[in-house]
Amino acid sequence: MLVVQKFGGSSVADAKRIFNVAQIITEKYSEGNSVIVVVSAQGDTTDELIEKAKEINPAASRREMDMLLSSGEQISISLLAMAIEKLGFPVVSLLGWQAGYHTNSTHTTARIKRIERERIKTELDKNKIVIIAGFQGINRFGDITTLGRGGSDTSAVAVAAAMHADVCQLYTDVEGVFTADPRKIKNAQKLPEITYDEMLELATLGAQVLNNRSVEMAKKYNVEIEVLSSLNQSSGTMVREVTKMEKMLIKSVAKDDNVARVMIVGIPDRPGMAFQIFSRIAKAHINVDIILQSVGRDNTKDITFTVSADKGEDAVTALKDYIELIGGKSISYDTNVAKISIVGAGMETHEGVAARMFEALGDAGINIHMISTSEIKVSVLIDASEADRAVSMVHSAFFDDLSIK
Amino acid sequence: MLVVQKFGGSSVADAKRIFNVAQIITEKYSEGNSVIVVVSAQGDTTDELIEKAKEINPAASRREMDMLLSSGEQISISLLAMAIEKLGFPVVSLLGWQAGYHTNSTHTTARIKRIERERIKTELDKNKIVIIAGFQGINRFGDITTLGRGGSDTSAVAVAAAMHADVCQLYTDVEGVFTADPRKIKNAQKLPEITYDEMLELATLGAQVLNNRSVEMAKKYNVEIEVLSSLNQSSGTMVREVTKMEKMLIKSVAKDDNVARVMIVGIPDRPGMAFQIFSRIAKAHINVDIILQSVGRDNTKDITFTVSADKGEDAVTALKDYIELIGGKSISYDTNVAKISIVGAGMETHEGVAARMFEALGDAGINIHMISTSEIKVSVLIDASEADRAVSMVHSAFFDDLSIK
């Protein structure tokens, strides 16, 4: 088997953890597998480098930022390689450009264009464990680029796709994907598998197990991902296209409290209003999530929508003048709200799922402000103060009477 | 003019010093020059990285050490580039491999084979200040190499040679080359110029202004070096081939107290003894400096030689069994000695120079243990306790009645 393993910054934060990771890698290698490893910068290295740059020039060019930041993985890959040498295994560390990661030229948020496989192949043919610096590549001018936050996940999935790896193991600080946040919900259960689309919905819902770009890429190239923890030996959650009939309708309950609700009251009930409002919001680079428009009354209507918590004020600023101009009554926002979502691919064929969620919330006396649905997701907006209780109630409604392995 | 400037690690140790260096660079650029800058890693970065490596694997491969260590300059070049951007000048930072430094594959002490000039030329043509990571290059396998201690000086001289620069300014923590150590000798004077050979002798004599490899390379490619300080505006010392007749016979008095004297007493006075002894020393990778062999007496002789202070014990260990085997009387070493040297290209044609040195020492009542001479140098070994006084007396004998600019 050809296995790609990816370890995040906290997994290689110090010498002890580096040896723990080296142990995981060499065990996989000793079982007879070819192993490619992608590593992030140690612990807080990237943040420390950003601080250094800010001290000198807060408006530094992105090209030089990439030059600076990419040094972080250079340190972690060489230290990890040294640990593997210490354990007596053949190993080589490669920087992004050495491993053949070619990207476009959008410094600090570059996209991988292709991976030239020659060097990696040569090293695998020599039976070496190949350690690759995640998060970085090279553009057509020979300049170093970085992939932005979560870039190492993308680096791992990309090399798994390019090398046709059998599996891409992404080691995180959680054991896998759960039916709810295991730190909050006592009987949250680890899912043995989940589809790419379900994973994507979960990621956008605040359950930040994996970076979305990496899941999208895995889906596109059909790379099997396993999400697991570097701190224990349990098997994790497989992310892959599942063809068999779903036994379970919903996979997970997620909470997102990084939400602001923007309320526009009393604007004229005539065509084009929504377009005017949301084109202004788009121009301000604000992503809108749920939108609710009230039924017209007295020739006026209300529009409510949600954005991420830090964009609430921006949204009001972007719209205030326009709302005044058209004679709207008021615009305001609040962040005392949370979004609770259930995700599952089987949902669309089972109309009772949403009703079961609403019933659980109703029984608990929790008021629903907004509702949004997609093919594999139902989200509701509620008061933030009731969010944890809501997750618990919804989780019970779906999982307490099911047995999941 | 095309100017190469090199700044060491202490010159870029923090944000304030980085801006000081940025100021020096942009002034040179503003005068209408093309400027290439070579930079070392910040302050103690390299030592800190070595510590990190030792914690994980004291026997790490040299290839991985190079991967680790070369990250240091990556940080310093990008930060310096950001400072220059802040001052409003066009700039680009380049790693060793990006700047075209091709080396052999002797990791941690690689030699530069050639510099491919394309990228540097392209950037200079765009009127950019080019900041290059010193100390590092790439071998024919695409692996990163480093040049060893003092490597950044070599990087600077090499690029000055390759690009046919008009001058290579090496910024150090001293103002130039002096007639003696200015911290010790009050009236030590800065030399306006010195030849390559004189500089080489001074470097091996413990006056560590410049790395020897860089001076050798400068001599080979006829690169004019200026040694100067980044902390003030004074002009420094030019290192170049001087064709005019030397006005002054000797250039500088140097002290080296990193010396051990090894004494072998009472070995058989027969042929081959010296060969046997020094081949064993060579096998132990110990460099020998001065050698003194006593005239034979009672069919035995004594051999005394000097090595660097930390090798005294190694030398005794390497020889003890052999000396016992051949019936030698004793072998021992002591480090309470120092080497005082005078250097100057005009010396060989003026036989009175050595005598004048010996006279000065004799007048001061300082006993000479050993003497060694070359075409442009006279060295004597004396008690360490008298070293500073000896430098002072010798310096007076040569420089007090001369007027040097």
pLDDT tens digits, residue range A223-240?
A: 999 999 988 888 899 999
Write the CA distances from A24 to A6, A78, A80, A169, integer angstroms: 11, 17, 12, 11
Please give the pLDDT value at position B402: 47
CB nearest B57 (choices: A77, A83, A98): A83
* Cβ-contact A29, A188 below 8 angstroms: no
**How high is the pLDDT of residue A189?**
87
Q: For chain B, report the end-to-end CA distance as a whole number of angstroms.
A: 26
* Residue positions counted in chain A: 405
CATH code assigned at B55: 3.40.1160.10
Alpha helices (H) in A326-386, listed in sequence order: 352-363
Q: Which amino acid is at A245?
A: M
Alpha-carbon gap, residue B215 to A125, rounded angstroms = 43
- Mean pLDDT for A86-103 is 98
Residue A268, Cβ density class (10 Å: 0-12 exposed, 13-18 middle, ≥19 buried) = middle
Which is more confident, A156 or A284? Answer: A156
Give dist(CA A289, CA A370) in Å, integer: 11
Tell which wins on pLDDT, B34 or A247. B34
Q: What phi, psi does A129 have (nearest 5°)? A: -75, 125
Q: List residues bridging with A340 in a β-sheet.
A: A255, A380
CA–CA distance, A196 with B126 (Å, rounded to integer) = 47
Measuring CA to CA, which residue among A136, A135, A122 is closest to residue A92? A122
Instruction: Report chain A's terminal Cα–Cα distance, integer Å.
Output: 26
**pLDDT value at position A248?**
57
pLDDT of residue A205: 67
Tokens of A30: 């000793």
Q: Where are the alpha helices (DSSP H) in B133-289?
A: 151-162, 196-204, 212-221, 273-283
Task: Give the Cβ contact number of residue B274 at 10 Å.
Answer: 14
Please state, in angstroms and rounded to a whole number, the distance separating the CA atoms of residues B26 and B46. 27
Q: What average pLDDT does chain B have? A: 89
DSSP-derived secondary structure for A306-336: EEEGGGHHHHHHHHHHHHHHTT-SEEEEE--
Q: What is the pLDDT of residues B75-92, one digit of tens each?
A: 999 999 999 999 999 999
Q: What's the pLDDT score for residue A24?
A: 97
pLDDT at position B237 is 92
CB contact under 8 A, A15 and B92: no
In a domain, B195, yes or no: no
Q: Residue B118 belongs to what domain range?
A: 2-172
Query: What is the pTM (predicted TM-score) of this model?
Result: 0.79
A291 three-state secondary structure = strand
Q: Give bridge partners of residue B252 from the DSSP assignment.
A: B343
pLDDT at residue B13, rounded to an integer = 95
Residue B173: band (very low, low, confident or very high) from pLDDT cuts 50, 70, 90: confident
Provide the pLDDT confidence category of residue B372 given band limits of 50, 70 and 90.
Answer: confident
In this prediction, residue B405 has a pLDDT band, given cuts at 50, 70 and 90, of very low
Identify from A75, A84, A146 which residue to disrupt to test chain B contact, counting B C-beta atoms within 10 A and taking the largest count.
A75
Highest mean pLDDT among A109-123, A348-362, B282-296: A109-123
CA distance B383 to B389: 11
Is residue A259, in this structure, part of any structural domain at all? no
Closest listed residue to residue A166, CA positions, set A5, A54, A287: A5
Q: Is the pLDDT of residue B264 over 60?
A: yes
Q: Residue A97: which pLDDT band, with cuts at 50, 70 and 90?
A: very high
List strands edge to edge, sheet with A225-229: A91-94, A129-133, A34-39, A2-7, A167-172, A225-229, A237-239, A193-194
Residue B187: its pLDDT value, please? 83
CA distance A117 to chain B (A): 14
Assess if residue A94 is contained within a domain: yes
- Taking alpha carbons only, the member of B42, B14, B72, B81 closest to residue A60 is B81
> Taking a C-beta distance cutoff of 8 angstroms, is the pair A78, A132 a contact?
no
Instruction: Give the pLDDT score at A149.
Output: 78
B88 to chain A: which residues are within 8 Å by CB?
none
Torsion region of A200: left, alpha or beta (phi above 0 gives left; psi -120 to 50 gives alpha): alpha
- Residue B183 has phi, psi (to 5 degrees) of -75, -20
Based on the structure, what is the number of domains in chain A? 1
**Do residues B170 and B217 lie in contact, with contact meaning Cβ atoms separated by under 8 Å?**
no
Backbone conformation region of residue A15, classed left if phi is above 0, alpha if psi is from -120 to 50, else beta: alpha
Mind listing the pLDDT tens digit for each residue in A356-371? 888 889 888 998 888 8
pLDDT of residue A403: 40
- Residue A7 forms part of a structural domain: yes
Asked if residue A184 belongs to a domain, the reply is: no
pLDDT of amino acid A402: 47
* Sign of torsion over alpha carbons A324, A330, A336, A340: negative
Q: Is residue A113 part of a domain?
A: yes
A75 → closest Cβ in B68, B77, B82: B68
Query: What is the pLDDT, as a whole number, of residue B394?
Result: 92
pLDDT at residue A188, as a whole number:
86
Please count the residues of chain B: 405
Residues 6+ apart with CB under 8 A from A222: A241
Reported as a single tens digit per residue, the pLDDT across A319-330 is: 999 999 999 999
Residue A13 covered by a domain? yes
**What is the interface pTM, i.e. ipTM, of the complex?**
0.77
- Check residue A190 and report its DSSP letter: B
Beta pairing class for B252-256 and B337-343: antiparallel
The residues of B whose Cβ lies within 8 A of any Cβ of A are 15, 18-19, 49, 52-53, 55-57, 59-61, 63-65, 67-68, 70-71, 74-75, 77-79, 81-83, 85-86, 92-93, 95, 98, 119, 142-144
Domain assignment of residue A264, yes or no: no
Q: pLDDT digit string (tens) for A262-271?
A: 999 988 887 7
